[in-house]
Amino acid sequence: VRQVMLPVWSSYYFFTLYANAAGYDARMLRADEVVKLPEMDRYLLARLRRLVEQTQHSLDNFYISDACDAVSDFIDVLTNWYIRNTRERFGAGDENAFNTLYTVLETFMRVLAPLAPMEAEAVWRGLTGGESVHLADWPFLKDKLTGETTELGAVLQDDAALVAAMEKVREVVSGTLSMRKAKQIRVRQPLAKLTVVVEDPQAVAAYADILKSELNVKDVEFCTLEDAGSQGLKIVNELRVNARVAGKRLRKDVQFAIKASKSGAWHVNADGAPVCETPNGEIALEEGEYELINRVEEENAHEAANSVSAALPTGGFVILDTELNDDLLAEGYARDVIRAVQEARKAAGLEISDRITLKVTVPADDVAKVERFKDLVAHDTSSDSVSVEAGAELGVEVAKA
């Protein structure tokens, strides 16, 4: 329910909410329109093509679990990536966004129909007004008889470079959010800088605005591993020996291996395995007996103390500057106010298109923080006017303008 049913329904609800608010009757995309779409749209279409291919292969061979895994992965792309990053376009009535999401949801429901028949039926009928998704054709990308590309196949165009770059960006976002969580820094609290160290910085740099938005950072810097040193960064390689596992094979020598790992008396052989230098000679560790941890740090001691880093699963590192100044703290508080206002709008039953007048009450020490970012509060809450008063605690009053 939590991982499949609710996210799918939420995606459909999001689409209908904004389409109805805009009064737009969305339709399937045409093949000739795809090349002009924004990269985020083309990425989603390419991922949908891969989903259709993977699921069709899995179901043809009765690999039901593999089909379910592919669907779950696509749901994450759809809800936690595409919709999160295109919400403003829907609010602005972007026809490309509406048509892209309609095309994706209609096709996705036909893929989902064998696996979640009831929900796919409800969403598909709501989208199309058709009789039943189970009477519709499977979304074939090629004609079964002629082998020619279908109209849908021409719409769902693959783009290996775009997908690879966007997947790397998602990896950066995931790794950075994990660091925020580990350091207990909420996402609404803005931070000064993120440094991305990857093999191909240019491919990721094209999506700097997405990274800033998703991670709430003011600046993003990019560099390669080779250039890390010139950027004031150092690569740190750490070896941790699993004494319980390695001890079964090495017995007493495991203590020498542990000492070597801590003193740096080790290297990696041609097979990629760590070799410890001990009084009894070199000892090569085997899989499961160790953990290799690679991280990158700031050379400057102060910056190193106020940053945290993590390795990316497919190579590279991210470094997050965690130092907070007065401006960042003030904006973080203002974003907490925005969250409270959004909750108040929802409780008042207001539509997303409704403009409001807003009255905010905050502790006296926090009045200046909200005043400094009053324009941000007004913009993000669709407020025509914002008044800020001192009070005992945070409180908001909203009224339809």
The DSSP result for 269-325, as a single string, is -TTS-EEEEETTEEEE--TTSEEEEEEEEESSHHHHHTEEEEE-TTS-EEEEE----
pLDDT surpassing 80 at residue 225: no
Question: pLDDT-based confidence at 230, cuts 50/70/90?
Answer: low
Q: Looking at residues 206-214, what average pLDDT do you find?
A: 93
Q: What is the pTM of this model?
A: 0.79
Going by C-alpha positions, the residue among 155, 6, 190 that lies closest to residue 80 is 6
Q: If you average pLDDT over every residue of the chain, what do you get?
A: 92
Are 387 and 352 part of one and the same domain?
yes
- CATH assignment of the domain containing 353: 3.30.2320
pLDDT surpassing 70 at residue 32: yes
Counted domains in the chain: 4
Q: Using alpha carbons, list the distances in angstroms from residue 6 to 3, 63, 123, 357.
A: 7, 24, 12, 33
Are 180 and 315 part of one and the same domain?
yes
- Comparing 298 with 76, the larger pLDDT belongs to 76
Are 197 and 178 part of one and the same domain?
yes
**8 Å CB contact between 119 and 79:** no
Are 238 and 228 part of one and the same domain?
no
Are 215 and 316 part of one and the same domain?
yes
- With vertex at residue 25, the alpha carbon angle to CA 22 and CA 30, rounded to the nearest 5 degrees, is 120
Question: pLDDT-based confidence at 206, cuts 50/70/90?
Answer: very high
What is the pLDDT, as a whole number, of residue 53?
97
Look up the domain containing 360 and give its range.
327-400
What is the pLDDT, as a whole number, of residue 25?
95
Q: Looking at residues 289-304, what average pLDDT do you find?
A: 75
What is the pLDDT, as a whole number, of residue 235?
74
Are 392 and 312 part of one and the same domain?
no
What is the pLDDT, as a whole number, of residue 307?
85
Question: pLDDT-based confidence at 231, cuts 50/70/90?
Answer: low
Are 273 and 315 part of one and the same domain?
no
pLDDT surpassing 90 at residue 296: no
Lowest mean pLDDT among 228-232, 256-260, 279-283, 344-348: 228-232
* Residues 6 or more apart whose Cβ sits within 8 Å of residue 193: 217, 218, 219, 220, 221, 320, 321
Are 190 and 306 part of one and the same domain?
yes
What is the pLDDT, as a whole number, of residue 120?
98
pLDDT surpassing 80 at residue 366: yes
